[in-house]
Each structure stands twice: as C-alpha cells, then as structure tokens.
Amino acid sequence: MEATALSVGKAVLDGALGYAKSFVAGEIALQLGIERDVIFIGDELEMMQSFLMTADEEQDRHKVLLTWVKQVRETAYNVEDNLMAFAVHSEKKPICFYIPRNLWERRRIAKAVKELRAKVEDVSNRNLRYRLIRGSGSKPTTAAEEQANVATMAMMGINEANRTAMKLENSVIDFRQLITSEDQGRSVVAVWGATADLRTTAIQDVYDDPAVRANFGFRAWIKLVQPFIPKDFIQSLVRQYYENFPDAIGGTHKRRTIGVSVFMKMESMSQSEMLDVFDTKVSDNSYMIVVDDVSTKEQWDCIENYFPDNKKGSRVIVSTQQAEIARLCTGKEYLVSELKQLSYNQSLYLFHKKVMPSSNSTNENLEISSSEILEEDNQPKDEDGDKVFYLTSGKKYNRSRTMDQFDETLLLGRTTDKSRVIELVGQPHDGQGCKVISVWGMGGLGKTTLVQSVYRSPQLGNWKRAWATALRPFNPEQLIRKLAGDLGVATNGEFKDLTEMLTQNLKQESCLIVLDDISSTTEWDFVGNCLRNAMRIIITTREKSIAKHCSKEVINMHNLSGLEDDVALDLFKRKVFKDDFEKIKISPDMTEQARLIIKKCDGLPLAISTIGGFLATKPKTSTEWRKTYDRINTELEINQELRAIKAVLLRSYDGLPYHLKSCFLYFSIFPEDHKIRRKPLIRRWVAEGYAREMHGMTAEEVGDMYFEQLLDRSMILPGGDVNIYSGKFDSCQLHDIMRQICISKAREENLAFTLEDGCSLSSTQGTTRHLAISSNWNRYEQDLIQTMVDLSHVRSLTVFEAWRSFYIYKKMRFLRVLDLEGTQEVRDHQLNGIGEFIHLKFLSLKCCPGIDNLPNSLGKLSNLQILDIRGTCVRELPANVTNLQKLQFLRAHLVLVPRGIGKLNALCTLAHVKLYEKGQGAVKELAQLHQLRKLGVEGNTKTYNKEFWSAIRSLNHLQSLSVNWYCRGSDNCKLDSPLGGSLLPPRSIESLKLDGPVVRLTEWIHQLQNLTRLLLRGTGLQQDAIQAVGKLPNLAILNMGIFSFKGEELIFEQGSFPSLVLLEFIQINDASSVKFEDGTMPKLEVLRIKLDASDGELQELSGLRYLTGLKEIQLDLWRCLEEKVVNVLDQLVGHQNNVRVLGNEY
C-alpha cells in the first residue's frame, strides 16, 4: 500500500504540474493578474514531487507520511481540476486559449486561485511541520527506523523454495538441540526475523525448559536499552544471579522478600565487588545468557568481551531484527537454519555454527555445504548402489536420503525445462569469460525449485558447486563470502584478499555457481566481476532485461512458463489427497470445480500447491471446492495460509518504478480474461498523461517502451503469438491473481472502479478517476449510479459491450478518455452533447455499427488526440473536424475527408481515408501533414494520382504507406505511373502496401532502402520487378496476394532477398511455377502458401531444400490435388532444420 500511495501520488503530480506550467494556464493567469499565484502553485507542486521522490527512497514509510502523501495526491487532483475548470468557464478567444471577459467571472477565478494557493501552501508546510521526510543526507540509522523494511526484504531474500514449497527437513533445526549440543566451546546463536514478540516467545520456550536449564549453572536474560551502558549491563547480570540463587546473598534475607534482599545486596556492593562476582560466575560455570535487541556492531563488540570461552559448553543467545548483526554475532563461518515458519513472510531463523549433536539426541539433523558434494561416477556406493557422500564429521551421508527430502511434486511438468537448463550448462562455451545461464519468469513459477533440482543433478559430474541467495538489502560482500565458503575458500581476512583467492580458485577448478533471486543489473555488476573465472553461473530472476544483461546471449536465457492444465490438475490432486492421490478417483463435478480453481491459478505452481494444501484439511467435496472458488479472492486477502501466494506476486509489483506502477494499475479497468490490445492501451496511457514525450521519443514510443518493460517483468502476460510483422506481442492479459492485486491496489487509491456483477457501490469512497462498466452489470438504474458514485472527477469511462444512454453523464466535465468500443446499442443522437467534454483526448467508437454520423459538436473537442471510428457506418467526416488541431491519430474505414485537412498538422496516423474525384484540394493538403508517420488512402480515379505522390514526397517522417487504386478495368489507371526520375516516394518508408496496377516499380523501388515490409495485391509485377525488390537490403516480409504477379514462372534468384524472414503467397493466379534457386533467402524462416484450385493451377513449387533457414511452412490449399502437398513434403525430407508443416492436417 505504501509504494502504491507514493507512486500514484507522483503520477498525479506529473499531471497537475504539466497543467500548472502549461502555456494556457500561464496566459489565463497573466490576463487575471494572478501569474505569481499560479507560478507559486507550480513551484510548490514541483517541490512536493521532489519530496515524494525522497520518500520513495526512504525505508521508513510511517502512517503519518502516508497520510501526507494522500493529501498531496488529492491536492494535486484539486489543482488540476480547478485549472481545467477555469478553461471550461472561460470564453474562447480567436487564437487557442480562453480569457474571461466578464468582470465577476474574473474575480471569482482569481479568488479561487488564491484559495488554491493557500491549500497547496498548507499541505507543503505540513511536511516541514511534522518533519515527515528527511533530506538525502540524513538517512535512517537506528534499528527502530530500519527494522520493518530490512526484516521484510531480507526475509524475502531467503531461499524461496525453503519458505514456500520445498520444506526441506534439514532446513528446519531443533533450537534445544542447538543449545544442548556436546560442543564444549562457547558458542553464539542469533535469532533473527519476524517481530520482537515472536523472537522473545521462541527464546523463552528454550530458556525456561527444565531439560535445558539443567545444563547451565548460570542463566540471565538482558534486554538492552539505548544508550548502551556497560555498568548497567553488569548490574543486571549480577542481580539475576542473586535472584536465581538467593542463598548466595547471605545475611538476613529470609526475613525479607527476595526482591528487597537483592536490592539491598546490590546497594551494598562496590563496583569492583560486583565485577568479581560476575567474573567468577561466568568463569566457573557453564552459562546461558540471552541478549535481547542487539542493534549495532559496537554493542556486540563490547558485550562479547564479557563472556569468556570457559570450555564448559556455555551459550550466548542474541535476539536481533537485523540479518547483518546476526551474521556478525556468529562469526564468519556461520550457517542459517529456519527455526519456524509462521507465514510466508513471517519466519524465524537461527544463525549458528555447525552443530555436533548431543549423545542422547535421536534427531540426525545432518548439514552439508555444497563444497562437500562430490558426484563422480566412480564415487563410493552403498549396498543398494546409491552414491555415498562423506561429511567433515566423518559420518556417511546417502544421496538418496537427501533427494527424498526434495518435494518432487514441485517438478511436475518441468522435465523439459530441467533438461534444457542442464543442456545449457553442459554445452561448450565459445565466448569470452564464463557462461551465464538465466532462468527467468514471474514469481511463484518455481524458478528456484527448478534450479535446485539442476544443482543436485548427478548429470553435472564432479563440478564443485556453490549457492547464494541475494538477500535484501543487497550485500555483495556477504554474498561473495557465502560462495567462497561453499567452495572451501577461507572467508576470514580482508574482503579484497578473499576476492583474489576466490578468483584463483575458480580459475583452477570447474565450478557451478548459482545466484538466486537477482533483482537488478546493479546487483549482478557488483558480483559478476568476482566470478568471471567460474565455469558456469546460473541466475534466477523475475525480469527478462536482467536475464539478458547477465547472459548476454538469448540462447542462454530460459523463460519458465506456467504449467499446462493437465499437469496443474495432477499437482492439485497430489496436494489435496497427498499419499492417496493415486487411489482416489474424483467425480466429474469435483473435476469441474478443480479445473475452475486451476484456471484461477493460471498455471502458477505456487498458487496450485498452496490452495491444494489448504483444501487438504477441508472436506473433499465438490460443494466445498465450489465455495473455495467463489470466495478465493477474499481468501487470498485474509487467509494466513493463502496469503503466501499474494506475497510472492506483490514483490514484483513493489519492485516497479513509479511510472510503471501507474501504468500497471490502469489494467484494473479491464474484465477478467480480456485480451488487451497493445496500441489502443498505449494511446490511452498517452491521453491520461502516463506516457509523455522524453529524450527525443514520442509519447507513444515511450508508452510502447513501458508496455515492453511490464512484459519483461512478467507483470502482464502475452496475449498470443508474436506478430511476425512487428516482432512484438499485439496484446496482453493479466494473470488472474495478479489482476486481483491490481484491482485492490487501484481501489486503495480510489484510482479505478468497475461496475460489474456482484460489485458493491457502497464500497466506493471519495472520488473515482477511472470508471469501467462491465457487460455483466445489469443494474441499470440511472439515479443509483449518479448518487452512489461521484462521477464529477472521472477521467476515463470505458464501457464493455452493454450500453445505456445515461452512462455518459454531463457532470463528467474532466473526462479525458471515452472508450465505447463494441457497444452495439449506441446511436448518433446519444453523442450529440459530446462537445461539452472539452478535455477529451481519446474517443473510440470502434465497432459501433449504430453510428452513422459524427455529431457536429465534435469540432469543439480542441484537446482530442485520438479518434477511432473503424467499424462504424460513418462515411464522411464533418467539416469542423479540421478544428481538432491536436488530433494525432485518426483511424477510420474509407471515410471522405473534407477540405482543410492540412490544418491538422499534429496528425501522425491517417488511415484509411477515401479520396474522391473532386477532392484534389484535400489531396494537395496532405503535403502539410509533416508529422505523418502512417497514411492509408483509397481512390477510384487517376485524376489526382500525380498530385498524391507529389504531396507525400516531402513527408520525411512517413514510415507506413498503404495505397489502393481500385480501377482495374481501365488501362490508363496505373498506381505508380507518375513515379520515376525526380518524383520518388519518401525514403523513410518502412512498410508499403500497394493495391493496384504497378508498371514502373524498377524505377523507384531502389529509393526505399529502409523498407522492411512489402504487401502486393493486383500489382501485376513481372520478373524484372521481382528481381528489383530482391535487392532491397532490409526487406524482411513479402506478401504476394492475388494478381500480384504476371507471368508463367516466378523465380527467386540466387543472392536475392538477403534479409527476408517471411514469404506469403495468397492466390497467385497466373504463375504455374515458383522456383527457389540455391542461395536465395538465406534467412527465410516461415513460408505461407494459400491456394485455391479455382484460381489457377500452380504446377510446380521447387527448390525448397535451398531455403536453409526455413523452420515452418503453413499450407492452406483448398480443392488442390494431393500431389501438390506430397511434392512439398517430399522436398522437406532430410531438410537440415526439420521443418514443421502446418495446415490442412498435413
């Protein structure tokens, strides 16, 4: 919640700052004489933004700070709303900004701005008044300030498998055995983790155990206070001695209470007498001392000197909130064991030396380090043929017993993944330095579990091995010391000397290093140089970008995905029925409920395993499982057993930078299982202000980068296959559980609310910024919505399918995004008042067939940036569309454009529009659209052909061009007849679609050296034109549609198409033969062929064996002779790539 509040606050401030410092706001302020107030507001907001940046870096996010952050957020919204409202109530000047002329209105606005200034100033002063945020030079230094963040993050760094699913028996230790072991030296045991009360309870159980007490002649429990005073420390120890042994007081203590007797004895003792008593007791007795709440190294260095090693089996138990202090207390050669797991992120850990069990102990809790594992084929075996390992204690350790402790169910469905990682480890490495294999994917997939199974695998031979988990906060020295210890390198001494010894050791021996849970490239850079001589390194991480940074080569990256449905069901049954899962057959009704639960888990092993374990203790009936499914979202929030699932996924969310948090929370408006299309989503982000221009990138390019980053971090999942044209995923989805996190976080901040079946309107508090109306919400009462939900501050309204006219409410005066895509019932007249939403930036009427005409009020939307009317019945744009001078994207289907289109000089996309015979003026105006990057036009006459090409020749930013001249019946209509000589298309074009006769391609195609995609239809090209196209150096995709080639034989010559990856034939009617020569298309991976026997007879397709890069052929052959298919299959026999053939069931 803390990270969400900060991130949303900063995102809101970005928007408010942009508006406060805008030209329009400045112009209004100047005319009203309040420019100093507006400047002050902008400056204060900027300072607040810097404060929030600092707060995000601080570890101490207390409730008072969070309250202030929310007040900042609401103030920023208030500033933005008011500045936008001033524009609403102002009269429009002939230029582009609004200046009020009415004196009363001027005074009202001036007064409102001054009140706004006072609010901003008051919120800003609260930070100073309560000292909520320290400067960057004053970071928290005390244990109290750091404990919450350090403990939580450090516990997250402990081996994920041990915490959640592995439950290795030797990872949990007997605390009593540790204290009563036969080791006669003084040893220190540090208890770390969870809360102070839980640590105290765990220590108290051992401290008061009679069997433990019998081993010690002197016991004491010291609670440290600040500041640490040695004299008080000694007094407390001596006082407890006399309380435990009152006979040692002497005198007349029997006539008094023990407390009074001890007090009088202590008062009568000099300091030297007290020290003598203390020294005698700790020297002559075995002692057990508990030191509670050690928080600094200096404290421990002082305390340790008071407790000598008297060789009597004495013990010092330290309780601390800090992992680093626990490590320092137990020394360099330490082990960490789990004492107790209270919940996913509430565990107690013991830092201690290696244990020598007591003679009367029956618990064989053997511990081995990875440096002691040797796995050569000639290794000694026991009588059962199992390999035997020897420990430093001299005891025999059986590998089969070790593997029995590994929960094999967690590797269900991972055989291929395991084999792949082992293969990567075993493959020779030709590059410089060590080979780094990265296993990456979202939290809860079992990355650590998979790598542990690889780490233990006997297939890796006799390599030495070491494993370290990156704890939080990250400590590179601690991590390197852990690895060095595992490899048998002495870890005492200076760190610089240690790294040199480790480097030499790695150079001399074959070593496998595992770095678990690397969360940033910085962490890798810290340790990577020290490990450069390692033979192999495996890292696990949640982010693709980190995996790529570490592995360098994509081939060494392995992306772990979710389990298939059948494997998931198998895992679920194993967890529910445990050892009886093979004997029990569940009913079809139970199977159906199980599959619903598994669908909610979406292939996540952690979720499946945890929910299955939870249901193992419940009645095993379909009714019980149905109840669990119905309330699973609530259970994830409140059930201690299930919160582990959410905790794992929350780590990924908490690790997002603030700008990505805002983008991620935006997904909360989309329904479950909804495929979210990439480009419309990015344009919505732009309209909302979540993606802005930066560093020479357009706002849409920045949004596209954000989308990729969310994919790389596994926050969103791909919605299908990679688009071969763009090389990117066109859509995405949210994991069901991740979606619940998204929704809950968005609701915490009143950021988004969805009206859907089962929602509670009474749960909405404050103002909602993003409102979505689901298709399954059937409470169509107008008054209910408008009274229960505050619509006056809504920024976006998204309607999914079902439509009611009152959804667009006139009080939504700050609406920026209106998405009605797919709403079948919406009609023209219901949009008549849309011009009142003057802040609207995004309007989508896509697939709204009831829309025939756009309203005249559309021309009032001076801030509109995106307009999508594809799939409507609109055939002509209104004349006042030319008023929309901020319009950047206009997507339509064959609409006529009016004169004046050249005024829209912010347009980046104009597609697909229709040019008509008398519209030469509009055609010429295309030359004024200098920002145009995508253009799609269609026409039916040759009269403006030359004017069109002349108009677009100067569009130097044009990247995508689609031209369709549908006049095939005329010999005079040639699409490219004006081209050649000095009239050439723009060099910047990367994607080109030509639909119509082309006769002069050889004279101009060489101009397009950046062309990567070419689609041809009805072009009637001949062989010489194909040869010219084949010389383009960057062409990756070629689509040859119907009537695109004219000739009997189509030949792809040697050396042509050097970069082609995809080739498509769609009903090439005239050619009877297609031939690939040796050396053509060396990079071609996919060949798609769609033929229909009625369209012509392709007699021969030859030379497929020369396509050396070919991986897949997709056949769509309707009513074609089977011999053609057989011919294709015969050519692929023995092909070096084992080419896949898809389609028509071949």
> What's the mean pLDDT in 529-548?
93
> What's the mean pLDDT in 609-637?
89
Contact by Cβ (8 Å): 636, 597? no
Residue-level pLDDT at 260: 63
**Residues in a beta bridge with 538:** 437, 514
C-alpha closest to that of 878 among 861, 888, 863, 889: 861
Same-domain pairing of 662 and 533:
no
Locate the DSSP E strands across 379-483.
388-390, 396-398, 435-440, 464-469
Residue-level pLDDT at 392: 28
pLDDT in tens, 668-705: 999 888 899 999 999 999 998 889 888 788 889 999 99
Q: Say how many C-beta atoms besides its own lie within 10 A of residue 1050's C-beta.
A: 24
Burial of 378 per CB tally in 10 Å (0-12, 13-18, 19+): exposed
- Domain presence at residue 958: no
Residue 527 has pLDDT above 80, yes or no: yes
More confident of the two residues 24 and 688: 688
Quickly state the pLDDT bin for 960 (edges 50, 70, 90). very high
Domain count, the chain: 6
More confident of the two residues 277 and 896: 896
Same-domain pairing of 551 and 688:
no
Residue 344 has pLDDT above 90, yes or no: no
Give the range with max mean pLDDT: 143-157, 490-504, 518-532, 1006-1020.
1006-1020
More confident of the two residues 3 and 1101: 1101
Residue-level pLDDT at 891: 95
> What's the mean pLDDT in 23-48?
60
Range of the domain at 115: 2-140
Select from 593, 613, 647 the last residue of a domain: 647
Burial of 915 per CB tally in 10 Å (0-12, 13-18, 19+): buried
**Residues in a beta bridge with 706:** none
More confident of the two residues 362 and 296: 296
Residue 48 has pLDDT above 90, yes or no: no
pLDDT in tens, 279-294: 887 888 888 999 998 8
Quickly state the pLDDT bin for 1128 (edges 50, 70, 90). confident
> What's the mean pLDDT in 400-425?
73
> What's the mean pLDDT in 938-962?
87
Distance CA(520)–CA(542), nearest Å, equals 10
Distance CA(505)–CA(535), nearest Å, equals 11
More confident of the two residues 367 and 754: 754
- Provide the total of helices (H) and of strands (E) in the chain, helices listed first: 37, 38
Same-domain pairing of 297 and 347:
yes
Residue-level pLDDT at 387: 36
Same-domain pairing of 166 and 201:
yes
Same-domain pairing of 670 and 793:
no
Distance CA(1107)–CA(570), nearest Å, equals 43
More confident of the two residues 55 and 1146: 55
Q: Identify the weakest region by mean pLDDT among 173-187, 943-957, 1051-1065.
A: 173-187
- Domain presence at residue 1028: no
Same-domain pairing of 458 and 541:
yes
Residue-level pLDDT at 466: 92
Select from 896, 927, 956 the last residue of a domain: 896
More confident of the two residues 539 and 801: 539
Phi first, then psi, for residue 1069 (nearest 5°) are -70, -40
Distance CA(653)–CA(268), nearest Å, equals 61
Select from 367, 395, 430 the last residue of a domain: 367
Q: Identify the weakest region by mean pLDDT among 216-220, 425-429, 653-657, 1105-1109.
A: 425-429
Residue-level pLDDT at 136: 40
Quickly state the pLDDT bin for 765 (edges 50, 70, 90). low
Contact by Cβ (8 Å): 785, 764? no
- Domain presence at residue 377: no
Residue 470 has pLDDT above 80, yes or no: yes
Same-domain pairing of 115 and 29:
yes
Q: How far apart are the first and last CA of the chain?
A: 54
Q: Identify the weakest region by mean pLDDT among 595-599, 832-836, 1045-1049, 1129-1133.
A: 1129-1133
pLDDT in tens, 624-668: 999 998 888 888 888 877 877 888 888 888 888 878 988 999 999
Contact by Cβ (8 Å): 649, 444? yes
Same-domain pairing of 761 and 874:
yes
Residue-level pLDDT at 403: 31
Distance CA(895)–CA(887), nearest Å, equals 16
More confident of the two residues 1122 and 986: 986
Q: Identify the weakest region by mean pLDDT among 309-318, 621-630, 914-923.
A: 914-923
Burial of 3 per CB tally in 10 Å (0-12, 13-18, 19+): middle
Residue-level pLDDT at 397: 29
Residue 159 has pLDDT above 50, yes or no: no
The H or E element spanning position 743 is helix 736-748
- Domain presence at residue 1102: no
- Domain presence at residue 919: no
Same-domain pairing of 357 and 481:
no
> What's the mean pLDDT in 561-585?
88
Residue 664 has which token pair? 């991620």
C-alpha closest to that of 540 among 530, 531, 532, 550: 550
Secondary structure letter of residue 1045 according to DSSP: B
Helix ranges, 305-433 (H): 323-330, 399-404, 415-426
Quickly state the pLDDT bin for 142 (edges 50, 70, 90). very low
Residue-level pLDDT at 338: 75
C-alpha closest to that of 440 among 422, 419, 423, 417: 417
Same-domain pairing of 548 and 447:
yes
More confident of the two residues 1055 and 728: 1055
Residue 97 has pLDDT above 50, yes or no: no
Q: Say how many C-beta atoms besides its own lie within 10 A of residue 142's C-beta.
A: 11
Residue-level pLDDT at 1021: 94
Same-domain pairing of 663 and 553:
no
Residue with tokens 């006799």, as numbered in its chain: 462
Residue-level pLDDT at 108: 67
Residue 985, preceding peptide bond in cis (omega within 30° of 0): no
- Domain presence at residue 398: no
**Residues in a beta bridge with 896:** 876, 914
Residue 263 has pLDDT above 90, yes or no: no
- Written in H, E and C, the secondary structure of 77-88 is HHHHHHHHHHHH
pTM of the model: 0.72
Phi first, then psi, for residue 87 (nearest 5°) are -70, -35
- Domain presence at residue 789: yes
pLDDT in tens, 49-89: 666 665 555 544 556 666 767 777 677 677 767 766 665 55
pLDDT in tens, 348-385: 788 887 655 444 433 333 232 333 323 333 333 333 33
CA-angle at 169, arms to 167 and 174, nearest 5°:
115
Q: CATH number, domain at 661?
A: 1.10.10.10
Same-domain pairing of 436 and 508:
yes
Q: Identify the weakest region by mean pLDDT among 380-384, 425-429, 836-840, 900-904.
A: 380-384
- Domain presence at residue 775: yes
Mean pLDDT of the chain: 79
